[in-house]
Structure 1
Amino acid sequence: MRTLFALVLAGAVPAAWAQTPASNPMPDGSSDMYVGLGAVSAPRYQGSGERRVTALPLVQVQWSNGVFVSGMSAGMHLSSNPVLEYGPLLTLMARRSEVGDGHQLGMPLGTLDTSGSATPPTEGQPSRPSVAPDPGPDTGKRSGNPLAGTEAIGARLQGGAFFNYYLTPSLRLTNNLLAGSGRDRHGASWTVGLQHVTRSLSPHHSVSLGADLTVVNRSYNRSYFGVSLLDSINSGHAPYAPGGGVRDVAVGARWNWALSPGWMVSSSLRAAWLQGDARRSPLVERADHITVSTGLAYRF
């Protein structure tokens, strides 16, 4: 039986980063479930120079009919071909406010400022309104937080599809196509990747490696990396209207440690580099960023 353990920390990273679990043939009416708790250290938002450690739930469930839930994503395997995996995909993209990505979904454990900027607003502090009374001409610049004065982007339910092809039994070409993100819900992304699926290093340890590239449309880039006229007035940044193109390229690794038949520690490291118009955004403090996560899960 071929399985790919791709446990995702809910809301910790953009939805397109999530690995689609491999098709897992099981007896009719059965399921395979992992539930646990983990911690992730990641930038406050894509391009932030400040990091944040957050505690978030870990969830992955697969049913014999092909339906799966993995973190903030859900989908269904429709193919019976062992070298092809495809089907519909739904993901929840976390809200972005002046505080950063998805702060309402997890419990902050601590913050590490690597940008040399001033201390950001306290967690849980209400976002400033879209049009603040007399915010001054350089709110974002003076605060040390590039998102200060920018309009929040609500959580978005994205719909799309995945298509994976096994080049070899251990090498998988992946594709995730998603739409529905951004302020106007017209943002779309396509992530193509290459994964070396879980390889056993010993009876209790396994490692998987991957690399991917994400392309987004103009609406996505303008929502998450652009500066509208209203944002410019409130934040002090010059207006910026990026086009579509490659958002980032990334490499990653995941290590699974089976403590017992039921308990597992899953850890991951991902390095990504913003590209093109996204990289040139005035909201970006760092073009390169690293996300590290670890968690303990129990298999039912």
Structure 2
Amino acid sequence: MRHAITLTLLSLCVFSGKSFAEEATPAPAGDSLSAGVGLAYVPEYAGAEKRRVLPLPFIERTYANGVFLSTQRGIGYGTKIGDFTLSAALGIDAGREDHRKNYFSGSDALKGMGKIDASAQAVLSAGYQLGTVGVGFTTRQNINHREYGNTYILSASAPLYSDSTDQISFGAGAVYGDNKHMQTYYGVTARQTIYSGYRTYTAKAGFENVTAGVNWNHVLDAHWSLASGLGVNRLMSDAADSPLTRRKTSPAVMTALIYKF
């Protein structure tokens, strides 16, 4: 389930490496605290046919020295050097259930595939501002489950419209997965074939998906803002050809109400 949500948020909110709160209201030079709740329309897992609407609680504390604590970005440190932004954080990949555990987690389409356990991740990001266009690179490296592999994300964003209350931007991104990552999420071993009924399939390293979307941030007053996004996610290469993939192209819809203290 985490994987599906991550793909949605990537396509909607984090092309430039900013959080919900940073997109909605630029952070001041000092400490800041933002909290909110959103809704996301996401597939049950990456490539699933069924979808669900999920709540997305959000809280982020940032400090003037660059340290941040965030439900979205994890616990880490970020800094800006000229037109470059750099950050390093400890995050969590919640894994994937192999059955519909409840409304919020899992899918019966994955029965027999086995559970993918939660894993701590090192999240390293770098961004550069080319005029009005922001480009970025992020890698998520699994720490305690190295067998799950790693991902590498390329992203870009550009403003379309901006005034005192509304900011509209366009973003695009691509996720590359190594052999271990692709096999974990899209491959089917001989043992999994016996229990799931899916044909045996080996997923190799390659671009997992590409995304594009439009984000709209509306400032309601000095404290409240609304961040929304509409986009599309397209699975690629071996992810698209996996027997687990029922739908290669998925809509991505999210909205969040944020309060800045």
Per the normalisation by structure 1, the TM-score is 0.75
Partner Cα separation in structure 1 for residue 144 and residue 245 of structure 2: 17
Counterpart residue identity of residue 292, structure 1: V
1:76: which partner in 2?
77
1:25 deviates by: 7.5
Q: Which residue of 2 aligns with 1:164?
A: 127
Tell me the alpha carbon deviations over residues 45-78 of structure 1, each in whole angstroms, 9 at most, x when there is no partner: 1000111011120223322111234433233223
Aligned length: 250
What is the CA–CA distance in structure 1 between the aligned matches of 2:28 and 2:194, rounded to whole Å?
A: 57
8 Å CA contact 1:41, 1:53 repeated in 2: yes
Instruction: Select which of 171, 177, 192 maps to 2:139.
Output: 177
Structure 2 residue aligned with 1:246: 207
Percent identity over paired residues: 24
The corresponding residue for 2:186 is: 225
Deviations 1:142-188 (A, max 9, x none): xx9431111010122211311101111x2111100111189654411
In the aligned structure 2, how far is the partner of 1:296 from the partner of 1:25?
16
Q: 1:159 to 1:268 in 2, by over 3 A?
A: same
Deviating more after overlay: 58-67 vs 283-292: 58-67
How far apart, CA to CA, are the structure 2 residues paired with 1:182 and 1:213?
25
2:154 counterpart of 1:192: yes
User: Partners of 1:198 and 1:167 in 2: how far apart?
Assistant: 15
Larger Rg: 1
Paired residues of 1:37 and 1:55 also in contact (CA < 8 A):
yes
CA shift for structure 1 position 272 = 1.0
What corresponds to 2:111 in structure 1?
148
Match of 1:206 in 2: 167
Alignment correspondent of 1:123: 102
Contact 1:183 1:223 in 2 (8 A): no
Aligned twin of 2:238? 277
Secondary structure at the residue paired with 1:267?
strand
Give CA deviations for 1:245-296 in whole Å, capped at 9, x if unaligned: 1101110221111111111111112311111011110000001111211121
Is 1:32 aligned with 2:26? no
- Does residue 41 (structure 1) correspond to residue 34 (structure 2)? The answer is no
Runs of 4+ in 1 over 6 A off after TM superposition: 22-25, 124-127
Q: Secondary structure of 2:169's partner?
A: strand
Alignment-mate amino acid for residue 196 of structure 1: A
* Aligned mates of 1:125, 1:204 — CA distance in 2: 34
Of structures 1 and 2, the one with the larger relative CO (CA 8 A, separation 6+) is: 2
Whether 2:246 is the aligned partner of 1:267: answer: no
* Structure 1 pair 270–16 and aligned structure 2 pair: CA distance change class (3 A): closer
Between 1:247-256 and 1:54-63, the stretch displaced more is: 54-63
Structure 1 unaligned segments of length 5 or more: list them.
Answer: 1-8, 100-120, 128-143
The residue matched to 1:53 in structure 2 has which SS? strand
Deviations 1:224-263 (A, max 9, x none): 0011222111101111111101101110221111111111
Larger relative helix fraction: 2
